[in-house]
Structure 1
Amino acid sequence: MEKTVYIRLRHRVQVRPDDCITVSKIAQIVAEKELRTRISNLVVHRVQPSDKNIVVIDVMRVLAEVHKTDPDIDVQAVGPAQTIVEIVFQKKSYSPVLFALVWILLFVGAALAIMNFHEDVSMQLVHKRLYTIITGKTSEHPLLLQIPYSIGLGLGMILFFNHLFKKRINEEPSPLEVEMFNYQLDMDMYVSMKENKESMKKIDDH
């Protein structure tokens, strides 16, 4: 029983460009204390410039490294079959001018999208009609409806995205976060298949 080790690979980990990737960085290990310490320090991969920014480590590679230290170890692998290792380089400082240009572009684009939508559905005519029905009067600028509508539109966007600046309103993920999560899962699956050299074998490979 002392020679039994349970290993569960993590889905995604981040390392520095000059790091050595050990088993403890990419996996959870359950074993007798001394054996766990020995396996945790095993080096699976050394980050090289040719790795660029993504490395996929297969569970079979981890098992091979463990068995090199002691062939009698009974390794039980559970969970994912690959770990995606993201190599994080030093972030470049953002230019305030570039940030301002992007912010203005997004602001103007969002404003135009909202205005074009309102024009397509004749929102101004709807407000005028509602104002006439409610008050019995005709107005070219029914501010009584337009001002609350504009405020409600902004509040609705805040509730939809579930964020007020950097503060989350509640623990539920927003639809945008769910879509980003699904997109990340698809990307990870693609990377796992594309970058993992053990997952595919070409006809010329020996």
Structure 2
Amino acid sequence: MSKKIVYIRLHHRVKVKPNQQVYLNDVAQCILPPGLEEQLDGIPIYQISQTDGRLVMIDILQVIRFIKKRVPELDINNLGENQAILEIDYASKTPHLVLVSFVWLLLFFGSGLAIMHFHEDVNMLAAHQKIYHILTSAESEHPFILQIPYSLGLGLGMILFFNRVFKKKFNNEPSPLEVEMFNYQQNLDLFTVMEGRKDEKK
């Protein structure tokens, strides 16, 4: 008699609620032999508790032990990640309007000052005056015909660079900020996995 085979692919990151019971189909995509879906999916593999913090790691060995305990004769093949990270989605508090306004003003004026100091360091006014003189053979203390389009182009360039206006995106390509956030999330997940392995050894 041929052995029954189970194929498992753990999800990388899963959002769960506080005190939620986590089932096999919550943390993994499985191909099970006929008749075993209800037998395995109906039993919780983990119970979220108040002591878990914000992240919980489910290891593939934990999943294999869970399945083998109920159906020992199964042959289990893992096709993906070795860990699934459960992110507990606690209800977030509504940010205070005064705090949001303070942060917005701080970023607005801070970025504006940074741009102005950069232009002062590279002497952008002198560069515009020189370009204006080359194009028109005339002198101008404030060549607005260059400065105004340059200022508008600077803002438009930032919008195109970050590929977003509020919640609207121009195309499906990720912005540099989204790529950096993705890399940060990957490093954070790797750190969580390594810390989880240290805790298991202890």
- State the TM bucket, normalised to the shorter chain: over 0.9
CA pair 103-33 structure 1, distance change in 2 beyond 3 A: farther
Residues 1:28 and 1:197: Cα distance change in structure 2 (over 3 Å): farther
Residues 55 and 197 (structure 1), Cα distance of their counterparts in 2 relative to 1, 3 Å cut: farther
Contact 1:10 1:28 (C-alpha < 8 Å) held by counterparts:
yes
Secondary structure of 1:29's counterpart equals: strand
Q: What CA distance in whole angstroms lies between the structure 2 residues aligned with 1:74 and 1:39? A: 14
**8 Å Cα contact 1:128/1:142 also seen in 2:** yes
1:52 corresponding residue in structure 2: 53
Instruction: State the alpha-carbon separation in 2 of the partners of residues 171 and 97 from structure 1.
Output: 34
Partner of 2:136: 135
Q: Aligned partners of 1:14, 1:70: CA distance in 2, in Å?
A: 28
Conserved in 1, the CA contact under 8 Å of 2:13 and 2:85? yes
Name 1:147's counterpart in structure 2.
148
* Residue pair 2:18, 2:48 contacting (<8 A) in 1 also: yes
In structure 1, the gaps of 5 or more residues are none
Aligned positions of 1:82-121 closer than 5 A = 82-121=83-122
Stretches (4+) displaced over 2 A? 195-198
Distance 1:50 1:30 in 2: 33
SS of the residue corresponding to residue 34 of structure 1 reads coil
% identical aligned pairs:
46
The question of whether the paired residues in 1 share the 8 Å contact of 2:3 and 2:75 is answered with no
Task: Please name the residue that 1:201 is paired with.
Answer: 201
Deviation at 1:39? 1.8
- TM-score, normalised by the number of residues in structure 1: 0.93
Does the aligned pair in 2 maintain the 1:42–1:65 contact within 8 Å? no
5+ residue gaps, structure 2, are none
Match of 1:5 in 2: 6
Counterpart Cα distance in 2 of 1:182 and 1:110:
24
1:160 is matched with 161
